[in-house]
Structure 1
Amino acid sequence: MVPDRIERVLDLAHPPAKVWAAITTAEGLGTWFGQQASIDLRPGGAGRLTWPDNSVELRVERVDEPRVFAFTWPVDGRPGDQRRTYVEFTLEPAGDGTRLTVVETGFAQFADDTAYRGNSDGWGRELAELVEYLDAA
C-alpha cells in the first residue's frame, strides 16, 4: 500500500509575514523552490516553478493570507499523467517566529511508491533551502 501523506513541520525564527512572502511570491519561490517562478495568487490561479532541467505547472487551490496557501501539481516523472497531488502550507505564529507545516497528499492514487519517495526526499531538500533563504534575507 502506497502512503498517501507527506508532512513536515518547521519552527522558523521569522515572522509569519516574511514566511508568507517566501512561499507565495514569484521572488520567494523562484529563489528557494526553483530558479525561477511565476504565481497568480488566487484560487484557480496558475503558477510555474522552473529549474535548469525541468519545470512544473501549479494550480493555486487555496489562499487564506497569512495562514494557508495550497496548490496542486502533477507528479514529477509521469509525463502525460493528469493526476495531481495537493500541497498545503499552514503558518502559525510561534513566539517571535512561525511554525510552518507542509502537507502533500494524493500519493495513494498511484500503484507504486516512487512518487511518494521522490517527493518525500525532495521536501527535505527544498525546505532546507527555504530555511537558508529566510536566514539570508
Structure 2
Amino acid sequence: MTVASETRSVVVERDIAHPPEKLWRALTQPHLITEWLMRNDDFQPVIGKTFRLSGDWGGVDCEVLTIEPGKTLTYTWNHAHEDPAFDLRSVVSFTLTPTASGTLLRMEQTGFRPEQKQAFGGARHGWQAHFTNLERVLAGLE
C-alpha cells in the first residue's frame, strides 16, 4: 500500500486598513481570538504553548511553533477524528506585511491530504469568513 505524501494548502491574503501592531493584538490576545476565530483555552504567544480552539462543530488542538512579534505567527491545527479520512494534521501561518494603507495579512494552512476535500473546502470558505470577522473586530478596537 502506498501512502500519498502530497498535501494541499489554503492561502488567504487580505489588505487590512489597520497597522500591524493592531492586527497582532487580534491574532494574539485570547479574548480577541474568541471574537473573530474561535473560543480558546488560554492562548499565549509563546513557542511550545499548547491551546485548544473550539467551535460549535468541535475543535482543534494547537501548539505555537514560531513567533516573531508583529510579523509572523505559526501554530499547528490538528483535528483528531476516528475516521482517518477526517483526521487533519495541519499548520496555520500568519504573516503581516506593512503597507501604505495598513497591513497585508497572509494566512496559509498547509497539510490537507488529497482525500480531504471536505476539510479543504471548509477551510477555504471558513478563513474568508474569519477574516471578515477579524476586520469587524479591528474596526471596534482603539
TM bucket by the smaller chain?
A: 0.7 to 0.9
Structure 1 match to 2:103: 98
CA RMSD of aligned residues (A): 2.3
Structure 1 match to 2:93: 88
Return the match for 1:49 from 43, 49, 53: 53
| Structure of larger gyration radius | 2
TM-score (norm 1): 0.86
Structure 2 match to 1:58: 62
Q: Which amino acid aligns with 2:61?
A: E
| Number of equivalent positions | 135
- For residues 128 and 79 of structure 1, the distance between their equivalents in structure 2, rounded to whole angstroms, comes to 32
- Measure how far apart 1:79 and its partner are: 4.4
Residues 1:71 and 1:79: Cα distance change in structure 2 (over 3 Å): farther
Residues 1:53 and 1:83: Cα distance change in structure 2 (over 3 Å): closer
Segment drifting more, 36-45 vs 62-71: 36-45
Q: SS of 2:11's equivalent?
A: strand
Sequence identity, in percent?
Answer: 26
Contiguous gaps of at least 5 residues in structure 1? none
Q: Does the 8 A contact of 2:76 with 2:92 survive in 1?
A: yes
Query: Aligned ranges for residues 1-137 of structure 1 at < 5 Å?
Result: 4-75=8-79, 78-79=81-82, 83-108=88-113, 110-137=114-141
- For residues 44 and 50 of structure 2, the distance between their equivalents in structure 1, rounded to whole angstroms, comes to 5
Residues 1:38 and 1:15: Cα distance change in structure 2 (over 3 Å): same
Contiguous gaps of at least 5 residues in structure 2? none
Q: Which amino acid aligns with 1:85?
A: S
- For residues 98 and 22 of structure 1, the distance between their equivalents in structure 2, rounded to whole angstroms, comes to 13
TM-score (norm 2): 0.83
